[in-house]
């Protein structure tokens, strides 16, 4: 009887995972940082004793683009998403720290992205002025079938090379960007606002954005967590056109 474990069965997902694993973030952090410039060190009670004044100050900072007070906080998220999402994600460098699982050191699991029924499949228009529209039933069937077949062939090739003793860092080259990866991403409210301004569409946004839907799904989930932690800051972000200070 062999002690070698059976390879995991391939699975297909249309969602993403976003978990807030730790944080040191609240509206009071913004108030502390802002008021030290005029009042020096203050207690938490002094900083937060007037809710309307706190709301007004945070809105003023957001409106007039005084950004540094929004950096004095921290949020760490666990994110599981397709590799192509992470390649876009890591264009955001200022105020972000990342640690992603490594295909050099562990065998990558066969979890792959296939668009769900709500994913618009067809792009219309020229670059810079285009929209996505619903695909036909035939296009949807084709997309799911071809992606799943391609993923399975790629993962079989990966397993074949590993079984032959090829190093993980070499064998992983055959795997597609639709493979799920996972990472910890740490940011502050200011860097998150920059991310959301580019990677989400919103009716209150003063500057339009056209994100790929899959990274927008991640952004929407991160925003939900952040809004609960820093409601005054989140409200000011929306009130002022969702432009990061």
The sign of the CA dihedral 188, 191, 194, 195 is: negative
Tokens describing residue 222: 């991160």
Query: What confidence category does residue 122 fall into, taking pLDDT thresholds of 50, 70 and 90?
Result: very high
Element (H, E) at 111: strand 111-113
Give the DSSP letter of residue 186: E
Model pTM score: 0.92
pLDDT over 70 at 125, yes or no: yes
Distances (CA, A) of 201 to 125, 205, 235: 18, 7, 16
Burial, 58: exposed, middle or buried (Cβ in 10 Å; 0-12, 13-18, 19+)?
Answer: buried
- Phi, psi of 156, deg, nearest 5: -60, -40
The sign of the CA dihedral 39, 44, 50, 52 is: positive
pLDDT over 60 at 132, yes or no: yes
User: Helix or strand or coil: residue 117?
Assistant: coil
pLDDT over 60 at 56, yes or no: yes
Select the more confidently predicted residue: 4 or 125: 125
Tokens describing residue 184: 């910890």
pLDDT of residue 216: 98
Q: At what angle do helices 27-39 and 231-239 cross, to 10 degrees?
A: 80
pLDDT tens profile 176-195: 999 999 999 999 999 999 99
pLDDT of residue 4: 59
Q: Which residue of the set 93, 104, 126, 199 is catalytic? A: 199
pLDDT of residue 1: 45
% of the chain beyond a pLDDT of 70: 92
pLDDT of residue 130: 81
Q: Which of 184, 203, 229 is nearest to 26 (CA)?
A: 229
- Across the range 199-209, mean pLDDT stands at 95
Q: Angle 178-180-185 (CA atoms, 0-180°, nearest 5)?
A: 120
Q: Is 228 a catalytic residue?
A: no
């Amino acid at each position: 009887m062999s002690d070698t474990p059976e390879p995991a069965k391939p699975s297909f997902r249309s969602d993403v995972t976003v978990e807030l694993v730790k944080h040191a973030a609240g509206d009071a952090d913004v108030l502390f940082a802002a008021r030290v410039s005029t009042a020096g060190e203050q207690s938490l009670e002094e900083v937060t004793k007037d809710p309307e004044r706190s709301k007004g100050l945070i809105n003023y900072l957001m409106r007039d683009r005084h950004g540094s007070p929004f950096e004095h906080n921290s949020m760490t998220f666990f994110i599981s998403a397709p590799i192509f999402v992470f390649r876009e994600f890591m264009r955001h460098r200022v105020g972000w720290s990342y640690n992603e699982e490594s295909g050099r050191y562990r065998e990558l699991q066969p979890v792959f992205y296939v668009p769900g029924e709500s994913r618009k499949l067809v792009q219309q228009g020229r670059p810079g002025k285009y929209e996505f529209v619903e695909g036909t039933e035939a296009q949807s069937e084709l997309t799911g079938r071809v992606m799943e077949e391609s993923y399975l062939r790629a993962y079989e090739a990966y397993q074949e090379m590993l079984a032959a003793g090829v190093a993980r860092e070499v064998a992983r080259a055959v795997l597609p960007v639709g493979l799920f990866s996972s990472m910890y991403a740490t940011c502050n409210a200011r860097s998150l606002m920059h991310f959301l301004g580019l990677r989400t569409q919103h009716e209150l946004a003063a500057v339009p954005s056209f994100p790929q839907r899959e990274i927008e799904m991640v952004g929407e989930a991160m925003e939900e967590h952040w809004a609960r932690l820093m409601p005054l800051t989140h409200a000011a972000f929306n009130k002022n056109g969702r432009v990061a200070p």
